[in-house]
Amino acid sequence: MSFDVAVIGAGAAGMMCAAVAGQRGRRVVLIDHASRLAEKIRISGGGRCNFTNRETPPNAYLSANPQFCRSPLARYTPQDFLALVRRHRIAWHEKHRGQLFCDDSSEAIIAMLRAECDAGGVAWRMPCSVEAVRTEGEGYVLDTSSGPIRAARVVVATGGMAIPQLGATDFGLRLARQFGLKIIEPRPALVPLTFDAQQWAGWSALSGVALEVDIATGKGKTAGQFREDLLVTHRGLSGPAVLQISSYWNPGEPIAVDLAPGVDLAEALVQAKPGSRQQIDTVLAGLLPRRLADHWLAAQGLAGKRLADLGDKALRALGASLQAWSLVPTGTAGYRKAEVMRGGVDTRELNQQDMQSRRQPGLYFIGETVDVTGWLGGYNFQWAWASGAACGQAL
Ligand SMILES: Cc1cc2nc3c(=O)[nH]c(=O)nc-3n(C[C@H](O)[C@H](O)[C@H](O)COP(=O)(O)OP(=O)(O)OC[C@H]3O[C@@H](n4cnc5c(N)ncnc54)[C@H](O)[C@@H]3O)c2cc1C
């Protein structure tokens, strides 16, 4: 069983890499321990796979080495992937903020990648688990549940640790450590944020409330800021705003939420006062979801008060409190609920032309195993396609 290339992990990055290398004439074997192909593609985008974004600028990616992703992303662009999608006659549409989805089902993307692998004559070993990887002469031997597999080069595309219930593992990180590569501490990302049960007791009654907010955390180069929808849940906060900011959040740090972005609430409340006979509850419910407005006023002891009876100072303080809500999450909902893993193989260990280890020739890392994490909105798949293609073209 001897191949030019063994790709471990038949997910988004692994299939792209295997297809590209196979179509360049390499003898490729693609190995995955799962019994169902590409589960993460299947469940992505609510079953419709948000397969890329119109624009994938490098600043939409987090990494300890932010420049690294530039080269792969520039060499395989969203337009390149879209051309592939068109060639396979997959119907797609654009949702907000440049997010591109399949019209029907993410199965179409899986079938497309499978067909591309077939066009490259890729051999499959699945389900097949890799027990060990060792060097032999100038190549590698993989001890697998289907027996030993020999290959001149090994590509690690085993993804991140998000959703372990679907077979996600830390295999890529363990292998990187085995060969002496540094790791940037992995953490769940694109994940709901949670709060202490006692601290959240009052808020959990607002479960289901959703609204657009500005959300921010961090300082300087590592700061994140988004305008997206927030969702209150029984355990904490979720929705796109919170998933996005979770990738930037560090334990112990506060997040800042503006519950009425683009509106000067203090000014709006003061302006509404002259001649008003309304209660503050009614006025605020015109600016925010009713349940949220009621909860906030009750917490501040203002429920039921007439607007006219409140001083400008109190109204301004109320407006400011809603636009600079600062709270410290106790944690995240963890890998079981995360969409991706942040951190991974330190990109300073890899060559950005081909994703090859600088210290271990013939060993490559691609996709989510690598310390490049995209925003929500198709950016993570684009990284998987781009890093997979960069590697496949060099094999
Ligand atoms: C619920 C959910 C929804 C998502 N939606 C989107 C979206 O719409 N758009 C977007 O851009 N991103 C989305 N993502 C993120 C995206 O799925 C990942 O970033 C992407 O799949 C990473 O590609 P990958 O090839 O690196 O890893 P994966 O696609 O996870 O593939 C890794 C493969 O390696 C295999 N593997 C793991 N360990 C081993 C081992 N020890 N031996 C053999 N095989 C192994 C796994 O079985 C898997 O097939 C979503 C993620 C989740 C969890």
**pLDDT tens per residue across span 176-223:** 999 999 999 999 999 999 999 988 998 999 999 999 999 999 988 889
For residues 138 and 31, membership in a common domain is answered with yes
Section 306-322 average pLDDT: 95
For residues 32 and 165, membership in a common domain is answered with yes
For residues 269 and 390, membership in a common domain is answered with no
Pocket of ligand 1 (CB under 6 A): 8-14, 31-34, 38, 40, 43-45, 49-50, 129-130, 157-159, 162-163, 167, 169, 171, 339-340, 367-368, 378-381, 384
| Residue 332 burial (C-beta neighbours within 10 Å; 0-12, 13-18, 19+) | buried
Count of beta carbons in the 10 Å neighbourhood of residue 238: 21
Q: Whose CA is nearest to atom 30 of ligand 1?
A: 159
Angle at 91 between CA 90 and CA 93, to 5 degrees: 130
Select from 300, 333, 366 the last residue of a domain.
Answer: 333
For residues 183 and 197, membership in a common domain is answered with no
Residue 312 — φ and ψ, nearest 5°?
Answer: -60, -35
Provide the pLDDT for residue 199: 86
Residue 29 scores a pLDDT above 90: yes
Select from 333, 358, 378 the last residue of a domain.
Answer: 333
- Per residue in 328-366, pLDDT (tens digit) is 999 999 999 999 999 999 999 999 999 999 999 999 999
Q: Ligand 1 centroid vs 181 CA: distance in angstroms?
A: 22
Burial 55-69, CB ≥16 within 10 A → b, else e: ebeeebbbbbeeebb
Provide the pLDDT for residue 43: 97
For residues 157 and 304, membership in a common domain is answered with no
- Per residue in 74-123, pLDDT (tens digit) is 999 999 999 999 999 999 999 989 999 999 999 999 999 999 999 999 99
Residue 28 scores a pLDDT above 80: yes
The domain of 8 spans 2-187+340-394
- Per residue in 241-267, pLDDT (tens digit) is 999 999 999 999 999 999 999 999 999
Hey, is 127 helix, strand or coil? coil
For residues 69 and 168, membership in a common domain is answered with yes
Averaged pLDDT score across all residues of the chain = 96
Which among 272, 376, 253 is positioned nearest to 319, based on CA atoms? 272
Q: Ligand 1 centroid vs 48 CA: distance in angstroms?
A: 15
For residues 277 and 375, membership in a common domain is answered with no
> Among the residues of the chain, which ranges form H helices?
12-23, 39-43, 70-75, 78-87, 107-119, 171-178, 197-204, 240-246, 265-272, 280-285, 290-299, 312-323, 379-394
CATH number at residue 302: 2.40.30.10
Instruction: Work out whether strand 139-144 and strand 224-232 pair parallel, antiparallel, or are unpaired.
Output: unpaired
For residues 299 and 243, membership in a common domain is answered with yes
Section 27-56 average pLDDT: 97
Angle between helices 290-299 and 197-204 (to 10 degrees): 130
- Count of domains forming the chain: 2
Section 31-51 average pLDDT: 97
Provide the pLDDT for residue 221: 82
Which among 169, 140, 128 is positioned nearest to 32, based on CA atoms? 128
Provide the pLDDT for residue 279: 95
Better pLDDT: 296 or 1: 296
For residues 125 and 36, membership in a common domain is answered with yes
CA-to-CA distance for 149 and 4, rounded, in angstroms? 11
Section 38-52 average pLDDT: 97
CA-to-CA distance for 191 and 340, rounded, in angstroms? 8
For residues 358 and 376, membership in a common domain is answered with yes
CA-to-CA distance for 356 and 154, rounded, in angstroms? 10
For residues 60 and 206, membership in a common domain is answered with no
| Residue 132 · residue 57 · CB < 8 Å | no
CATH number at residue 383: 3.50.50.60
For residues 94 and 172, membership in a common domain is answered with yes
Phi-psi label, residue 289: left if phi above 0, alpha if psi -120 to 50, beta otherwise: beta
Q: Name the residue type at position 21.
A: A
Residue 1 scores a pLDDT above 70: no
Select from 333, 354, 378 the last residue of a domain.
Answer: 333
Ligand 1 atom having least distance to the Cα of 49: 8
pTM for the model: 0.97
Residue 250 — φ and ψ, nearest 5°?
Answer: -115, 140
Q: Which of 7, 44, 82, 169 to mutate to test the pocket of ligand 1 (most atoms within 8 A of CB)?
A: 44
Burial 335-349, CB ≥16 within 10 A → b, else e: bebbbbbbbbbbbeb
